[in-house]
Each structure stands twice: as C-alpha cells, then as structure tokens.
Amino acid sequence: MRIGVLTGGGDCPGLNAVIRAIVRKGVQEYQHDFVGFRDGWRGPLEGDIQTLDVPAVRGILPRGGTILGSSRTNPFKAEDGVRRIKDNLSKYEVDALVAIGGEDTLGVAAQLVDYGVRTVGVPKTIDNDLSATDYTFGFDTAVNIATEAIDRLHTTAESHRRVLVVEVMGRHAGWIALHAGLAGGANVILVPERRFDLDQVCAWVESRFEINYAPIVVVAEGAVPLEGQMVLKDASLDSFGHVRLSGIGEWLAGEIERRTGKESRTTVLGHIQRGGTPSAFDRWLATRFGLHAIEAVHDGDFGTMVALRGTDIVRVPIGDATAKLKTVNPALYAEAEVFFG
Amino acid sequence: MRIGVLTGGGDCPGLNAVIRAIVRKGVQEYQHDFVGFRDGWRGPLEGDIQTLDVPAVRGILPRGGTILGSSRTNPFKAEDGVRRIKDNLSKYEVDALVAIGGEDTLGVAAQLVDYGVRTVGVPKTIDNDLSATDYTFGFDTAVNIATEAIDRLHTTAESHRRVLVVEVMGRHAGWIALHAGLAGGANVILVPERRFDLDQVCAWVESRFEINYAPIVVVAEGAVPLEGQMVLKDASLDSFGHVRLSGIGEWLAGEIERRTGKESRTTVLGHIQRGGTPSAFDRWLATRFGLHAIEAVHDGDFGTMVALRGTDIVRVPIGDATAKLKTVNPALYAEAEVFFG
Amino acid sequence: MRIGVLTGGGDCPGLNAVIRAIVRKGVQEYQHDFVGFRDGWRGPLEGDIQTLDVPAVRGILPRGGTILGSSRTNPFKAEDGVRRIKDNLSKYEVDALVAIGGEDTLGVAAQLVDYGVRTVGVPKTIDNDLSATDYTFGFDTAVNIATEAIDRLHTTAESHRRVLVVEVMGRHAGWIALHAGLAGGANVILVPERRFDLDQVCAWVESRFEINYAPIVVVAEGAVPLEGQMVLKDASLDSFGHVRLSGIGEWLAGEIERRTGKESRTTVLGHIQRGGTPSAFDRWLATRFGLHAIEAVHDGDFGTMVALRGTDIVRVPIGDATAKLKTVNPALYAEAEVFFG
Amino acid sequence: MRIGVLTGGGDCPGLNAVIRAIVRKGVQEYQHDFVGFRDGWRGPLEGDIQTLDVPAVRGILPRGGTILGSSRTNPFKAEDGVRRIKDNLSKYEVDALVAIGGEDTLGVAAQLVDYGVRTVGVPKTIDNDLSATDYTFGFDTAVNIATEAIDRLHTTAESHRRVLVVEVMGRHAGWIALHAGLAGGANVILVPERRFDLDQVCAWVESRFEINYAPIVVVAEGAVPLEGQMVLKDASLDSFGHVRLSGIGEWLAGEIERRTGKESRTTVLGHIQRGGTPSAFDRWLATRFGLHAIEAVHDGDFGTMVALRGTDIVRVPIGDATAKLKTVNPALYAEAEVFFG
C-alpha cells in the first residue's frame, strides 16, 4: 500500500513527530510505502512530492516545523481541484492519504472523503480549539513557553513596580492565555471569549500594587475590551492600514499606564510560541496520533480522525473536528478568577 | 471553618501549587482559615503546625518541594496515633483536613475517615501509578527532564558511536521511562512491568550500530533482567551491603559493553527528576486539584479525593487511590516497540 | 564594621547573587555587619533600611530581581541630598557602602566618594555597555533568552516562508542583538551603532527566500533606519502621544512586508530578557563580583569598582564605569555580516 | 585554495558552530573550497572524506555533536602515518588543514606542522583545562546543565532532609564542578586538584543539617579522597573488573550515609553535559573561533591556534595548547570555600 502524507495550516510543534511515527510504523509493521506531498493540499493538487521513507524521518522527532512544508491552499477554490488531486493520486499510485492539519485542512479532507479520496485525519491546532479531542499537540509547548515568559517577568515586575503585559496567541479561543496565566500566576487573564472591562482590569492592577506587588496581565491576541473602550483610532495604528494581530498587548499597556499612572511594558511572544522543539507531552501525543492514524489507514477506516480522550487515542468522524470551536467555558474561567488582582 | 493541610511522601513538583490554590480559594471565596501541619502525618500526630495564610503562599507556585515539609510517618504505627491526631485537631480547632500524598499518605487518610476525621485527599505520585486519575502532577515535569536528557545524549551517541544508558525513576511502574523514551526517541525502553532479555537488548543495540547510529537505552530503576541474567554478585556491588536503587543503569551499561564490545556510558538522573520548578501542565493540574479539593471540603464531601479524567477534575472515593497500582499495560508498551532497535 | 548595600537602576539577573556573596563572605570571613538600603539611593537618602544578614540572603542566588528593590532616585537632584545621606549613614552607624548599579548609580557613587562617603562599586548593565569591564552579569542571561527565541523562530520561518522580526533590548549599544543574532543564526542584525538601510535589509530578506529559506531579523530597540526612511507618522503611532520603546520591531516588520510582499511577524521580547533566573555564567560573575567587592571594602580601597578582565576580577576607579559607553565596534559587526542574507 | 577540516577527541557542544563559521566565511569571503575529513585524524590518514560546502553546514549551528564525526586515532601510532596523511592531502588537493580538537588532536597537529602539513588549530575541551585560552566552547554549556541540575536538587534536599551528591565531569581539572557548584549554591565542591577529607565533607554536611537545610555535594569525576579513606574494595565494585568513571559519586553518597546516618542520593550527569545544543556563549565563541581560524589560514599563519583572551580572539602557537594543563588554582578554590557547609 502506498500512502500520501501532508501537513496544512499554521506551524505547530509536533508535526514532524506525527510524520515520523506514521512512516516508522507503516514501514516496519505493515511494509507500506510513503509519498510526501509538499505544502498541504498544494502538494496533491499540483503533484508536488518528496521522498518519505525511514531515512527521511530520522532525527526529526525533536524538531519544530514540518519537513513537508505547509500552506493554506484550498483545492476547492482551485479550478478543477478535486479532479486534479485524484489524478495526481493515481499518477503517483497513492492508495490513501493522511492529512495532518486544523479546521481548514481537515475540512477539505472531510469533503474529499465524499469524493472517494481515502483519507484519515490528524488534528492540529496550536490554540487547542478543536472540540473533538481533549488536546492537540503543540498546545502544551506553547503554554510552557508562555509560562516561562511569565515566570521571568515576575521578578522584574516586583523589583520595578511596573505593570507587565504579555500578549499570547489565541484569536478565537483563550486556552493558551488561561493555562499559561494560571500556571504562571498571572494577576489578570483576558480571553477572546469574554469582552474585558478596562476599568476592572485597572482595578485589579491597582489592588496588586496596594499589597506592594506588581501585576502581570496575560492577554490573548483576540481579546477585546467592552464596546466603547477601544476607539477606531487605537485599532488602526498600523503603518499599512489594517489592525495588526500583535496590537492588543501594546494597546492595553498604553491604556493601563494612562489610566493608572503606573509604568507599563509589553512582551509580544508571537511566533516563538509555535516554533522550536516540542515538549515531551506534545511529542508523546503527536507520536501516538501518528501510530494510530496509520492503524486507521491499515484498518481501512477512512473518513475518521484520531483524537485524545483521557489517555486513550480514539477515532472520530473527521467532520467532528470542524463541527464546533472549543472555547474556554465560563466555569473554567471563573476558576481562574480567584487569582485575579 | 478551619482547615488543616499536610503533604506526605516523596517530593513532587507541584505540591506548593496545590497548597497555594487551596489557601487562595479557601480564604478569598469562603473565608476559611488554615493551619499547616508539618512533615505529613507527623504534623497532626505531634501537633507540629505552621502559619498558612495568603502571605505564606505568595510566590510558591513555581517552586519545587513543599513549604510544609514531608515525611513517611504513619500514625497507625505510632502508639495511640489516631487519638493523638484527633486530640491535636481539637486543640487547634481544625474542622477538616486536606491530605496531599501518595498511596501511603492517602491510605492513612482513608482509614482516618473511618475514625471520623473529616478528610479530603489530593493524589500525588511522581511515577503516575495511581489508577484513580489520568495523571498526577509532577509526572509531566519528570518526563520533560528525562526527555531533555535523552535529547542531549543523541548527539554524543552519534558522534562517538557509544551506547548511552539513562536510568530514570520508576520502581514499580515504567511510565516515566515509557513516556520519556517515546518522546526522546530512545532505541530501547525497559520497564519494571516486564523482565527484559539482555540478549534482545544487545541485539537492538547492535542493529542500531549497523545503520551507523548509536543507541540510547532508557531503563526504569525498577527494571530487572530475565531470571539468570543477573547474579547476586552484580546486585550486591554496593559499599554498605544492600542493593542501591541507582544500580541498574550502571549494571546494564557494563553488561552491554561486555557483551557487544561497544563502549557504554551511564547517566543516572536521580532526584533532579523530582525537584525544581514544575512544568506548566503540572502547575495547571496541581492548581486545579487544589481548587477542587477546597470545593470538596466546602461541600462536606469527605472521604473523597480529586482526580483528573480527561480535562475534568472529578471526585472519587479516597480509597480508590490505593486500590490498584496503575502499571504500563502490554498494549501501550507494544506501541513503543516499533521504535526499538 | 557595618556595611550598607544598595541596588539601583534597571533590573538585571544576578543582583541577588551579588548581595548574597557580599553578605556571606562579609559575615563569615570578616564578621562584618550589614544594612540593606531599599530602592537604590532612595534608601540612604530617606533612611529606608531592611535587615540584611545570612538568613536574609538564603535561597536568593537563583532568583532574578533584587531583594533590596531598586529605583532611579538621584540624591544630587534632591534637596540637601548629600547631607541627608551622610546623616543616615551616621544614624545607622554604617561605615561603608557597596553600590551595585549602572552608569547612573555608579555616577552618584563616584561623586559621593568625593564627599567622603566610603563606597565600593559593582557594575551592572544588562546591555553590557560599560567599558571598564569585559562583561557585566545579566548580559549572558539576556543573550541566552534571545537566542532561544531565535532558535524557536527558525522552524516557523522555514515552514511558512515568513519574515520573522525579533526586537531585543539595547537602546544605545547593540551587544544583545549582536551576540544573540550570531548565536541564533539570524540573517540580519541591526544595532543602534549604525543606522540601517531598509533597502539593504529588504535585499537580504529577499536573497534568503531565493534559496528557499526564510529570514530572521534581529533588531535592537534603539536601532534606527537611514534618515528619510522613517517618517514621523511611523514614529508616533502610539496611543498616548510618544514613541514607544517597543516600536521598531513592529515598524520594521510592517515595512518589510510592504516592500517585499512577504508576510512578516514580530516578537517583542521586552522584559523577559531581564527577569528570571540568571544563567550559570551570570551567577558565577555576580558571585565573584560580590566576593571581590567585600574584599575591596575590607582593604579600605574605596572609590574603586570591581571589573572582569579575562577570567580575573580586578579593581578600577569607580569613575571608569561612566567614562565611556562601550559600543559595538565596526570590526566586530563586520565579523557578523558574513552571515547576513 | 582547498581546505580540509577535521574534529577529534571527545564530544563538545559548539563543534558544528566552528565548522559552519569556517565554511561560511571561507566560501563567501575568500572563495575557498572545503573538504571534510571524517572522524578526526582517521579521515586524512585513511582518505575518508565528505562534502563540506554551504548547504552541508546549513542548520547545524544549534546542534550538538559534529557532522564530521570524531575519533581518537593518532596517526603517529599508525604505520607510515605521516606519509599516508601527506599522500591523502595531495590526492584530494588539500592546501591546508583546520584541526579542531583537544590536547591529543592538537598535539598531533603541532607535530605535523613540523612535517610541513600546513595546519591551523581550534582548541576544544569540555573541561576548560587548556591554559592557552581563557575559555573553550562547550564548557559554558556543561556548566549550565550541571547548574540546572543542582537547582532542581535544592528543593528536594530541603523537603526530604537528604544529602544529594551530583557527579560532574572533570577527570584532571575541576572547572565544571567549581563553576557549577558556585553557580548552583552547592554546599561542598570537590575537585581533582585537591584530595578531599571525608571527615571534613561529613562535617560540612552535618553543619548544614544543623540549620535545617539539606546539603548538596558536587563532586568532579576525578576527585579522590585522602589516602586511606578509600579502600580497594570500594574502587573495584565494577562488574567487569575496572574502576568505572562514574563511581565516585555513588561511592561518596554511600560513605556519607554510612558516616552521618543521613539518607544520601546520587545523580550522575554523565554525557548529558557534553551533548545537545550549545549555550549562546558557546555558539558565539565557537563561531568566532571558526571565523578567526579561517583568517589565520588565509594569512598563511600555520602552526597557530586561535584562543580567547578577554573578549578578543588571538593567535598563539599551536603547541601552547598542550604545554600545560590549566587546573583550578588554590586561590579560586578558596573563594568558593566561603560557601561550604
């Protein structure tokens, strides 16, 4: 059996670990053959392939990024996309696909299954916002990096009596902010799921100074203040005319400084959260996702996707990944609030 | 309400995070009062207490160890132990206890509940061998440390064509060895659950050299070879007459070198696996355990223990913790075997 | 002998290590007595002191920040500042001072020596821009943090073919940018010592893409483009009317994206570079600075400051610290240029 | 000009950084051509070469180990060794060599220069025991790893009132033990340069317990007790008849436990100190060594070796590297003693 593998969407530590596990188990246990498709769905669409055998996956387990490259190419937006993919699969004698990716990549996979493309999915989202699985790989790494950053800020915050704002990833879901904020002992955590009240934020900041400590504010990139607290002028500060993702941290530090009179500084972690070597948990999860994905292929269980439930890897319909965004629920957020201020 | 808190048994990163969460939530949300008992069950047995309020738990979240100290004191082995504990709880007007510990500590807690001591448990085991919960805090930290060690060994193994043996914790359960070995890309993983065959280990080692790589062998401290492969002479090398815990790694490297003729070196991680700052996951888990334990106390739900199921914290009978050792099952071990050799 | 200790200026990992070494050696070897002055020169100016003995310095070696607090108070700008300091030193029976700080703190120290205040200095600058010493503590920590960030960005840069801009500290000197850029394998390094040419930067960026790699640009916060390449509009994007320190990285990413058409993202490390646990080198250097500072006090060698020369700690006139800013010289920068593009 | 490069002796983080810098600068600035010789002097002796161009050194900066392999082959012990090397250099049209290695590798280089082999040296020793240079790359990485290990042990030592012994590298020189011990706040540091007195060690251990702390003992692998304190029986515990390198830590823990009655545990760091990614300092030093080595070749300055003096890279006669072992001098050791006990 010859199996194609592709990785789509944003970067996520653990992608290479998935690829390695698929190939190692496929070759050694089932004598499968592999083809690497380059840059997500662009690979099968344009017939862009690379060698994918045991030597090719040697040493990649601890490496961030993906040896297969990635893109956001959507074959359903390309002329004749489905037919071109099927033609290329035929041309390279590919019997089945493993598609590793997030909502978009798996959304395409789910549709292609309906067109007869035998595909198994592996879920990937740095933001941990897929509802079909307890966790996805990459998330734990991102949370560790953000937590270490918060750890480092504590001493400075205290020595200098400054407000320190850390902007972390999370456009639609605040999981990284919540977990890192809780693990790092942040004094305020702001998530996209709930508009924040600047007055409340400033009150928390000030109560922290009252006990002679300095506050650390963790803000997800997608968090927004209550209506009326942010004016268009603030949101369009960018030099080339649109709101920059990385704007909220800087904006918030400015507002806190203006309102409380306390010096405020910003750290914008940006892409360091999604690059570099995966944490042990993410390597373990990614490796097991890979092992179970190849099992699903071997079983002919197409249209499914691997998922984590407790400590077990299970299979769920691939469409489940895209069914519903998993966001921070109010009860969990409330748990963290006891530490605010 | 006045609540006593104690930590028993071996060290585990995250103990302080549990204590902090208990106190922060107890004080701020329920206006509880706290008493710290020193050194596990020795504290209530001997009436040894320390102040435990919000200032006392400031800054302890990222710190390893336990501000309450620990011991293996078993009040049931002390003369009149139960009565003395009950007297001390009365004396200090303690209404309920939170006992944080492993099998032994929680075993005592379970018995004391029968004697009317109102206790809630928080499970703790660096080895992850309690069956009542998906994970316990400290385990992820240990696995990360062991994985980083393996990462560092890879380059040396390859530059020098040496066999590198890493001995990790795990007397009765091989979870750390399995997870770190899988995450670090070890070529052999040996666990206490399954006696290993030295001949097979040497064959894996040699097959690795055949493809011009050098092998990394991860061995849990409690792993033992097949009967007849280790003689008493090997096991009694210690200078003061009993088998040292840290012996298996050194012994194994010696045997591999002797049998294969390949230079072999050992790393014994020892206590660095259970000290220092907890990983983000462990801080998150420990914090949530603390928050939910105080909820259980608040609800009067004594005799229960908090546990992780998927991403939820649930309550289970405290006796469940000690009911059965959670060991590495053969299926999971088989998953890893595809990477051996 | 009773000795006062103070720490002034910005945060720097290693301050606590200096304080600990001073106290440990002073007490154990010379039976000195210590007084901690709070918040730099504000302490002796206002007579704000804290206990500073062996128990007070226990466990602080690995901690960032300073247990004595810090400020930028300049007693020469306070009414009657010198007299008030001398009065407070008399009042607390302080025979000599150890002042730990940068240009400003040591500048005050140098002047006070002329007024008869017996002072020994310990140089501190996270930016490594004091010419009297090979290195100062804190710098190595900052460089390690920035290097790890660059490491993490490499994989993402490559997987996504994006430009990644990292803004690091360095308002007047580009040492952190140069060292971290060199150690991290950055493709462009921009320092305050040399105005950069945006066209050249974009050319380097594009040449990197030509060989199918993605560029990482390290920019010191104080770097500025050639005249005419940055207009006021760019520099005043801030919501409360003045240029934010953290602006250049974001601005540069915007300009590169606009000019090359390549997606660009920014990481602003900010205060995580100056907080948290010091590197081993910084702890070693800070500890030795402390040990030698107390030797200088013991020898009555006031008006001097400790400094690193090769592997030796020497004493230099305290005024040397402020004589001349140590900036990146053109020859060193040229060494790095071979890796650009 | 065609230049051969080789790496000999033990592993050291930074070897790849040297190789990369040599090739990048040689190719881009001087249009040199390179040949990689495999496994130290075995490469030119047996004519075993590999491609060494800009693509070959891509991405190797942060990687431990050496892409050229290493060995301890000594051509002067091989029949006709010098002639065979000269023949192979002719055969592959190699005009000059850069030899990266320690005492042995550079000793060979120094002799070969006398035979007309045009060689420039780059010093390498994880132990930092070459007197010709302030530091060598790899040492800072090893010290950081050992320091982090000590950090982690502190909390456990305190929670459990145990003695924790850490064995670090250093057969003939105690630099790693001294620097890591000082940076980690160890309570006893034992180095090969000075035989230690077990009674004194036990006294320090006990004095630590008296103030309710637990001691951490750092011991270099080459440290030995006073005559008469270690009997042959202890030194021959090994299963295949000779003293294992890793024995002293285990032996010492046993002796301390036996004499003081305090539980003692050992960590043997072993090869994790010399593998994995180099610290920022080591990458910077290794890169600059490479850049300056190629300058020396370009200048025809054969028979020299690069060395660090303060912050400058200088050239010294290659024989200086092997002239004298740089050991910990008594004054430096005495500086550290103030922290013992």
Q: Which residues contact D91 (CB under 8 A, 6 or more apart)?
A: D47
Whether the per-residue pLDDT at C281 is higher than 60: the answer is: yes
Percentage above 70 pLDDT, chain C: 95
Partner-chain contact B280 A339, CB within 8 Å? no
Of D276, D295, D213, D216, which is closest to residue D252 (Cα–Cα)? D216
User: C-chain residues within 8 Å CB-CB of D143?
Assistant: 280-281, 284
Task: State the average pLDDT over residues C153-161.
Answer: 82
Please count the residues of chain B.
Answer: 341
Angle, helices B139-160/B280-298, rounded to nearest 10 degrees: 170
| Tokens encoding B12 | 């585990």
Please count the residues of chain C.
Answer: 341
| Tokens encoding C105 | 């703190």
pLDDT at res. D246: 52
For C77-114, what is each residue's pLDDT tens digit? 999 999 999 999 999 999 999 999 999 999 999 999 99
pLDDT at res. C16: 97
Nearest residue of chain C to residue D180 (CA atoms): C280
Residue C127 catalytic?
A: yes
| Tokens encoding A306 | 């691997």
C264 touches chain A (CB under 8 A): no
Note the helical H segments in chain A: 15-30, 42-46, 81-91, 103-114, 139-160, 175-184, 198-210, 232-235, 247-260, 280-298, 320-323, 330-337
Angle, helices A330-337/A175-184, rounded to nearest 10 degrees: 20
Partner-chain contact D276 B158, CB within 8 Å? no
pLDDT at res. D243: 41
Q: Do residues D48 and D75 lie in contact, with contact meaning Cβ atoms separated by under 8 Å? A: no
Q: Do residues C95 and C3 lie in contact, with contact meaning Cβ atoms separated by under 8 Å? A: yes
Q: Which residue has the tokens 């309920």?
A: B96
Of A53, A40, A24, which is closest to residue A98 (Cα–Cα)? A40
| Set A33, A48, A87, A127: catalytic member | A127
Q: Which residue has the tokens 């920059």?
A: A244
Q: What is the pLDDT along chain D (341 residues), one digit of tens a residue?
A: 999 999 999 989 999 999 999 999 999 999 999 999 999 999 999 999 999 999 999 999 999 999 999 999 999 999 999 999 999 999 999 999 999 999 999 999 999 999 999 999 999 999 999 989 999 999 999 999 999 999 999 987 777 789 999 999 999 999 999 999 999 999 999 999 999 999 999 999 999 998 878 899 999 999 999 988 876 555 544 444 334 445 899 999 999 999 999 999 999 999 999 999 999 999 999 999 999 999 999 999 999 999 999 999 999 999 887 778 999 999 999 999 999 99
User: B-chain residues within 8 Å CB-CB of A28?
Assistant: 338
A274 touches chain C (CB under 8 A): yes
Of A267, A250, A162, A230, which is closest to residue C238 (Cα–Cα)? A250
Does A274 show up as a binding residue in the annotation? yes
Does D84 show up as a binding residue in the annotation? no
pLDDT at res. C244: 43
D339 touches chain C (CB under 8 A): yes
Q: Which domains does chain A have, with CATH numbers?
A: 2-138+278-323 (3.40.50.450), 139-273 (3.40.50.460)
Partner-chain contact D274 B156, CB within 8 Å? yes
pLDDT at res. A336: 96
User: A-chain residues within 8 Å CB-CB of B184?
Assistant: 61-62, 280, 283
Cα separations (Å) of C129 from B180, C321, C332? Answer: 43, 9, 14
For A73-115, what is each residue's pLDDT tens digit? 999 999 999 999 999 999 999 999 999 999 999 999 999 999 9
Q: Which amino acid is at A234?
A: D
Partner-chain contact A250 C251, CB within 8 Å? no
User: What phi and psi, each to the nearest 5 degrees, are found at residue D196?
Assistant: -100, 155
pLDDT at res. A245: 41
pLDDT at res. C245: 41
Residue ranges of E strands in B249-311: 264-268, 304-309
- The subunits that touch chain D, with at least 3 C-beta pairs less than 8 Å apart, are B, C
Most confident of the following: A154-168, A233-247, B205-219, B233-247: B205-219
Q: Which amino acid is at C47?
A: G
pLDDT at res. B246: 52
The whole-angstrom separation of Cα D305 and Cα D316 is 5
In chain D, positions 174-193, which contact chain C (CB-CB < 8 Å)? 179-180, 182-185
pLDDT at res. B211: 85
| Tokens encoding D335 | 């500086």
Q: Which residues of D57-80 are buried (b: 16+ CB within 10 A; e: fewer)?
A: bebbbbbbbbbbbbbbbbbeeeee
pLDDT at res. D236: 42
Q: Which residues contact B74 (CB under 8 A, 6 or more apart)?
A: B41, B81, B104, B108
Task: State the average pLDDT over residues C54-66.
Answer: 95
Partner-chain contact B10 D160, CB within 8 Å? yes
The whole-angstrom separation of Cα D61 and Cα B173 is 39
Assign C257 a pLDDT band (cuts: 50, 70, 90): very high
Task: State the average pLDDT over residues B263-273.
Answer: 94
Partner-chain contact B240 D257, CB within 8 Å? yes
Q: Do residues D18 and D100 lie in contact, with contact meaning Cβ atoms separated by under 8 Å? A: yes
Specify the 3-state DSSP secondary structure of A31.
coil
Q: Which amino acid is at D44?
A: P
Cα separations (Å) of C214 from A225, C208, C256? Answer: 35, 6, 13
The whole-angstrom separation of Cα D132 and Cα D285 is 15
B158 touches chain D (CB under 8 A): yes
Q: Which amino acid is at D325?
A: L
Partner-chain contact D11 B159, CB within 8 Å? yes
Report the residue of C19, C23, C29, C61 to disrupt the D interface, i.e. the one with the largest count of D CBs within 10 Å: C61
Bridge partners, residue D149, by sequence: none
pLDDT at res. A212: 77
Q: Do residues C224 and C230 lie in contact, with contact meaning Cβ atoms separated by under 8 Å? A: yes
User: D-chain residues within 8 Å CB-CB of B156?
Assistant: 11, 64-65, 271, 274-275
Q: Which residues of D104-140 are buried (b: 16+ CB within 10 A; e: fewer)?
A: bbbbbbbbbbeeebbbbbbbbbbbbbbebbbbbbbbb
Task: State the average pLDDT over residues A319-340.
Answer: 91
Of C11, C62, C63, C2, which is closest to residue C36 (Cα–Cα)? C2
User: C-chain residues within 8 Å CB-CB of A234?
Assistant: 239
Partner-chain contact A183 B310, CB within 8 Å? no
Nearest residue of chain D to residue B268 (CA atoms): D268
Whether the per-residue pLDDT at A323 is higher than 90: the answer is: no
pLDDT at res. A237: 44
Assign A232 a pLDDT band (cuts: 50, 70, 90): low
> Comparing A48-62, A177-191, C305-319, D319-333, which segment has the lowest mean pLDDT?
D319-333
Report the residue of D141, D208, D285, D287 to disrupt the C interface, i.e. the one with the largest count of C CBs within 10 Å: D287
Specify the 3-state DSSP secondary structure of C58.
coil
Predicted TM-score (pTM) above 0.90: yes
For C200-243, what is each residue's pLDDT tens digit? 999 999 999 988 788 999 999 999 999 888 765 555 444 443 34
D277 touches chain C (CB under 8 A): yes
Of A93, A35, A46, A90, which is closest to residue A71 (Cα–Cα)? A46
Q: Do residues C138 and C126 lie in contact, with contact meaning Cβ atoms separated by under 8 Å? A: yes
Rg of chain A over all Cα atoms, to the nearest angstrom: 22
Assign A131 a pLDDT band (cuts: 50, 70, 90): confident
Task: State the average pLDDT over residues A138-143.
Answer: 98
Q: What is the DSSP string of A75-127?
A: GGGSTTHHHHHHHHHHHTT--EEEEEESHHHHHHHHHHHHTT--EEEEE--TT
**pLDDT higher at B56 or A321:** B56
Partner-chain contact C153 A275, CB within 8 Å? yes
Percentage above 70 pLDDT, chain A: 95
Cα separations (Å) of C191 from C176, C219, D152? Answer: 9, 6, 37
